[in-house]
Amino acid sequence: MEAPTIDIEFERYWSKLTLIQKESILSVIKSFAANGDSVTIKQYNNEIDDAVSRVEEGEFYTHEEVKKM
């Protein structure tokens, strides 16, 4: 697939995502764009703590909700 086509398709789907979904995908994109920079244990633990906090605040989808999507 050519880059312009991918960009157009990405923009089409991006606009359909929720804020939480966008944040999740952005974190993956950032990890790919890091050019192999390693993550420190402190940074890794902070990311886990952030994820746990979001779950505790109810910011997650159940398996059934994801299947419906």
pLDDT digits (tens, 9 = 90+) for 5-59: 899 999 999 999 999 999 999 988 888 777 666 778 898 899 999 999 999 999 9
Q: Which pLDDT score, from 0 to 100, does residue 49 have?
A: 93
pLDDT at 1: 57
| Structure confidence at residue 12 (pLDDT) | 92
pLDDT number for residue 40:
84
- Provide the pLDDT for residue 36: 63
What's the rounded Cα separation, in Å, for the pair 27 and 33?
10
b/e code 29-65 from CB counts within 10 Å (16+ = b): eeeeeeeeeeeeeeeeeeeeeeeeeeeeeeeeeeeee
